[in-house]
A and B are shown apart, each in its own frame.
Chain A
Amino acid sequence: MRKRTCPYEDVVRRASRTGHWDEVLRHHVAGCETCRDVAAVTRALQALARTPLPDDARRPDPGLIWWKAHLLKDLAVQPPRFGTLLRLQDLVYGLVLALLVGVFWMYGLTWQNTFIRLWTSRVQVLEFPFVEAIGRSLALTVWSIGIGFLGVALSWSLGLFQTDD
């Protein structure tokens, strides 16, 4: 598209908005395509602006805007103090985790031995030669799964350590 502007555009735009036309301008617009476009678009948009639409009267309430701005201003001045609470929460998580690891560590071997003893006594009837070995593998698997769960719990807890404040 070739750009063909006209020095009278602004004058025509103003005249179209205000309705104050003089003969010279009328004559110019009649012979200038660019200014005819200016006048046509201004006229159409002015008509659109003047025509009331159903939603025109339903503006948001200024009181609500004032209230929101006030609230945000207060929050900016005094941010809520959750820091101490979150640190306390982290401490509790840490203690619980340490307790779980300790219990697992202290009773892990006893538990394995108990599991193997129970296993061998139950499946003895089958007289399978590797019964004890299978029982030990199972015990190790369950142990590994337990350790895995602890790892997941620890990562989740570490995620909670990263607070926003």
Chain B
Amino acid sequence: MSVGGTIEGTFVQTGSEPRSARPWDEAGFTAFYEATAPDLWRYLLRVTGDRSMAEDVLQEAYMRLLRTAPSEMDETARRSYLFRTATRLVYDHWRRTRRERQALRRLRQETAPWRAGPPEAADVMAVFHRLSVRERTLLWLAHVEGYDHQEIAHIVGVRERSVRVLLFRARRKMARLLKARGLSSEVVP
């Protein structure tokens, strides 16, 4: 699918060009998407455990980036913007669909996407999904994406000091669950 034209407001940045060289064009956007979407997609799939929700959130995050992100954003800021938007969309969706999720919990256990993964990944995913959605996002951003406390605070919209405490508790909880499943041996190579 190809649509001509450009979208003003957000600018493409490639290695050889100055920062605000030209507005997004489809090729530039596709290149940016291919560079950033795998991480965001993986984050959304693991945190939500729901492919359709992950798909909706991913699309909405990129559309908001295209339509509203300031033009002076660099690559890192855009990436952070995507994670922030996606995380808040997940939180909103989670709040709105609490009842439906409770009703479908049993069904989810049987049809969750990680059931098709390797045994260890399935175990870790099962442990991961015993945490709350906020704990999952915090842990993923810190331990997989490698964001520091300040960046996480910006993404999830809480104070940096709160992130430190929440992250500590989430990590403690997950470590205990891993230990209970016998998944925490030889943590140092």
Interface residues of A (CB under 8 A from B): 1, 3, 5, 10, 13-14, 16-17, 19, 21, 26, 29-30, 34, 36-49, 51-56, 58-70, 72-73, 76
- Determine if A47 and B172 form an interchain contact, defined as CB atoms under 8 angstroms apart: no
CB-CB nearest in chain B for A36? B187
Q: Give the distance to chain A from B33, nearest Cβ to Cβ, in Å.
A: 4
The answer to the question of B104 belonging to the interface, with a C-beta cut-off of 8 Å to chain A, is no
A60 to B183, CA, bound (A): 33
Contacts A47-B121, A64-B1 known; A17 to B143 CB distance under 8 Å?
yes
Q: Is the CB of B46 within 8 A of A40?
A: no
In the complex, which residues of chain A have a beta carbon less than 8 angstroms from the beta carbon of B114?
53
- Nearest to B32 among chain A residues (CB) is A62
B142 contact set on A, CB distance < 8 A: 13
Q: What is the minimal beta-carbon distance from B68 to any residue of chain A, in angstroms? A: 10
Provide a sorted-by-A list of 13 A–B residue pairs whose CB atoms are within 8 angstroms.
A3-B169, A44-B124, A44-B183, A45-B128, A45-B140, A46-B144, A47-B121, A48-B124, A53-B114, A65-B59, A66-B1, A66-B66, A70-B7
B187 touches A29 (CB 8 A): yes
Question: Which of chain A's residues have a CB closer than 8 A to the CB of B188?
Answer: 21, 26, 29-30, 39
How many residues in B have their beta carbons less than 8 Å from beta carbons of A? 58
Interface of B is mostly: helix
Give the CA-CA distance A61 to B127 in the complex, in Å. Answer: 31
CB neighbours of A61 from chain B (8 A): 1
A-side contacts of B63, CB under 8 Å: 65, 68-69, 72
Inter-chain CA distance A13–B165, complex, in Å, is 16
Residues of A within 8 A of B67 (CB): 69, 72-73, 76
Residue of A nearest to B34 (CB): A62
Q: Which residues of A contact B29 (CB under 8 A)?
A: 62, 65-66
- Determine which of B117, B165, B178 lies in contact with A44 in the assembled complex, contact meaning CB atoms within 8 Å: B178
Could you say which residues of chain A place their CB within 8 Å of the CB of B59? 60, 64-65, 68
